[in-house]
Structure 1
Amino acid sequence: MQVVSIINHKGGVGKTTLTANLGAGLAARGRRVLLLDLDSQASLTVSFFTPPEWAEQLLPERTIKHWFDGLDDGTALESPGGLVATPRRVREKLSRSPGRLDLIAAHRDLSDMDTILAAQLMSAPERFVDLHSRLRAGLEHPAFAEYDVALIDCAPNFGLIARNAVAASDLLLIPTKPDYLSTNGIDSLGLKIREFVDEYNARSLEQITRPPASVVFTMVQLHDDQPIEAQRAVMSRIEAGGVAPLSTTIRDSKAVYGPAPEYGVPVILGGTGRALTRELRDLVSEVSAQIDGTEGMAA
């Protein structure tokens, strides 16, 4: 299974929309996809399950928080596969595809969990690897052997749980609006990831590699089918920097993307917004090629 984290410590850049549509698009092409929601705001979760479904069916004992429960006393999660839920509406849309889309939901207390784990690290720095490898080790459980791809929707920070995602990842996608404020933190995020991987490897016998990263431009404003001039200038600066962007960009369309979570079906499966659907499919093709490439390197 290839693990892809969608990460940016800047919020409001379309991270969850990208994750939902990429996961659904991969599943429509026959891949078995597992989504993990690491953000306490739970936007990815409620894009597939209604708030009552989340509260009644998932919050009690089937969330990503339960994956991290027990780290304080070293207790292992016996069956992480029991946390998986299947969104009914998407399953119906994928009924003719051999692919599937499943989800491990977020929990409201994830940010508190992040703080608790960080405090444990402060008091017991010798537990660095244990605290940062919970997600990586869990994804290697036989319960997940049937999945081809895991997509991790990270919270807009670089806390301990987000670092768990990096340690587990084969590939990073960094969604960003092509404006100054949204792109300003990309270099610092790259530096933090590099420092974390170096520290992890200095403390662990099992080495990890720094995952390759790509920027995905989201919320692009078009004029005559081209990004507006101000955004083109920002995109050019990123292209000249250290993290290469994908060639596919995602246009700004609140009228299409905004209502989609309410219906529990991502735009790529919903049959609305033909131009948006086309570019989302192009994005799926491009990311699929990257996933296949990282899989080949791992082999």
Structure 2
Amino acid sequence: MENAEFGLEQYPYTNFDELRLAPKFAAECLGVSQQTLVLLEKEHDLQIDRVLRGTVPVRGYSLDDIFRIAAIRRDSGHIKGFPRPITISTYVQKGGTAKTTSSCNLGIMFSLAGFKTLIIDNDQQADVSSMMGYDPDLTAEELVDLGIPGDRAVTGHIGNLMRVGNMYQPMELSEVIRKPFGEFGPHLIPAEDSLDDMDIVLRNANGSDFRYSIFFEQARSGKLPHCDFSKYDVIIMDNAPSGSMLSRNSMVAADFLICPIRMDKFSFRALSRLAYKLGEFAKDFDRSPEIIAVPTMYIRNRPRIQANLDRLKNLFPGKVTESPLYLSEDYSKSLEDGLPLALWRAGGENSLGAMRNVFGEVVTRIRELLEPSK
């Protein structure tokens, strides 16, 4: 489900501004009927472009239109927010489990649900950045030479914003942040290979395990003039499978840990080690994120796969989503078209439908934990 598993060496350039989505798919993305979509447009005087379907002009929604409507629904009270901002880290110490796929698509779906969302690429391989249309390897000038807008280049990462040590040039959030789908879509703090040195920076810092936690608290409370996170409802971080200080910091800072798990014993072992590590965190730091395990690479009607899923649920009762992510070529096909699955209209029930189901369960689980019944 991730690019490495399908041998994708690069992500094609797609001009997100030029994309137009049909009313049916736009409504599905937002979880509303087409009739509700039309009413929202009239109520808020939204001007939607018309595109030709054959010889008939029909409404064609830009990505900015869709995310703008999601924000309107949230501001109008049609969508209930969380009682407080949350931080999510996507992690398990095992490669090829769909961590990046989950981070990217769930982050987009949070925005489609009206949450103001920030995705942080916390992996020097920068796959989330690439999935969202940015090139971590080429300069702006090199991209322009290839006919790609220079603003698809990465100019900074979380290390430039945290200003810990003197390894990185201090930068403003406005210099680093990327908004691939417009102001109302998910925002991105991208990554590139120099982020690898952040491991050294964190190890040499005072309170090395808490640097992300301190940074997020200060950025959210307006204490960092150069980096204001106060408007974000959800921060979601993608991590490398290695147990680096970056990953450790993201786990300590997280309220929720989303753990995509393949249905094999090696992934189970990785999750078991992680659960033990979180238990040690709880002892050391008096806090630990809540695990939400997501079964991935699931194949129907395979007794061994089903047995492994049952075993996973027994090992981690109440922490495994009922909906799995199925093994599907749609993940690679959407990237070949230059789009994350969440915005790819050709996605099927076993891919896009399954991801939407998982997102619904994640939101429900977060609400249950943040809003316990009285």
Q: Normalising TM by the smaller chain, what interval? A: 0.7 to 0.9
1:20 equivalent to 2:111? Answer no
Residue 2 of structure 1 contacts residue 295 of structure 1 at CA under 8 Å; is this kept in 2? no
Identity of counterpart residues, as a percentage?
Answer: 24
- Counterpart check, 1:140 vs 2:192: no
Which runs of structure 2 are paired with 1:33-72 in the superposition (5 Å)? Answer: 33-51=117-135, 55-56=139-140, 57=151, 61-68=155-162, 70-72=163-165
- Equivalent residue number for residue 266 of structure 2: 181
Q: Where do 5+ consecutive residues of structure 2 fail to align?
A: 1-84, 141-150, 223-227
Alpha-carbon distance, 1:43 to partner: 0.7
Residue 283 (structure 2) pairs with residue 198 (structure 1): yes
Q: 1:166 maps to which residue?
A: 251
> Which residue does the alignment assign to 2:71?
none
Secondary structure of 2:160's aligned partner: helix
Correspondence 1:1-299 to 2 at 5 A: 1-51=85-135, 55-56=139-140, 57=151, 61-68=155-162, 70-72=163-165, 79-80=172-173, 82-87=175-180, 90-91=181-182, 99-118=184-203, 120=204, 127-128=207-208, 131=211, 133-142=213-222, 143-201=228-286, 209-223=287-301, 228-242=302-316, 244-253=319-328, 255-275=329-349, 276-296=351-371
What is the CA distance between 1:107 and its match in structure 2? 2.0
Change (3 A) 1:146 1:290: same
Compared with structure 1, are the counterparts of its residues 78 and 267 closer, same or farther at alpha carbon in structure 2 (3 Å cutoff)? closer
- 1:31 is paired with a residue whose SS is coil
How many residues end up aligned between the 2 structures? 271
SS in 2 for 1:4: strand
Change in Cα spacing, 1:269 to 1:128, as seen in structure 2 (3 Å) is closer
Corresponding residue of 2:225: none
Q: Partner letter of residue 179 of structure 2?
A: T
Check the 8 A contact 1:170/1:211 in 2, yes or no. yes
Whole-angstrom CA distance in 2 between matches of 1:160 and 1:127: 12
Deviations 1:124-171, CA, capped at 9 Å, x for gaps = xx6345546354335524321211111111111222111211122111
1:172 is displaced (CA, Å) by 0.9
1:292 Cα deviation from its structure 2 partner: 2.6
Does the aligned pair in 1 maintain the 2:159–2:168 contact within 8 Å?
Answer: no
| Change over 3 Å in CA distance of 1:27–1:132 after alignment to 2 | closer
Deviation string, structure 1 residues 94-113 (Cα, Å, up to 9, x no partner): x9xxx521110012122232
State the alpha-carbon separation in 2 of the partners of residues 81 and 198 from structure 1.
38
For 2:348 and 2:270, locate their aligned partners in 1 and report how far apart those are by CA, in whole Å.
32
CA separation in 1, counterparts of 2:90 and 2:136?
26
User: SS state of the match for residue 133, structure 1?
Assistant: helix
Specify whether residues 180 and 3 from structure 1 end up closer, same or farther in structure 2 by C-alpha distance, changes over 3 A only. Answer: same
Q: What TM-score results when the alignment is normalised by the length of structure 1?
A: 0.80
Superposed CA deviations along residues 161-187 of structure 1, whole A, max 9, x for unmatched, are 112111221111110111112221111
Structure (1 or 2) with the larger CA radius of gyration: 2
Displacement of 1:29 in angstroms is 1.9
- Deviation (angstroms), 1:117: 2.8
How far, CA to CA, are the matches of 2:126 and 2:341 in structure 1? 18
SS of alignment partner, residue 193 of structure 1: helix
After superposition, the Cα gap between the structure-2 partners of 1:198 and 1:74, relative to the gap in structure 1 and judged at 3 Å, is farther
Letter in 2 for 1:296: E
Task: Give the partner amino acid of 2:252.
Answer: A
RMSD over aligned Cα atoms: 2.8
Are 2:292 and 2:362, in contact at CA under 8 Å, matched by a contact in 1?
A: no
Measured at CA, do residues 273 and 21 of structure 1 come closer, stay the same or move farther in structure 2, by a change above 3 Å?
Answer: same
TM-score (norm 2): 0.65
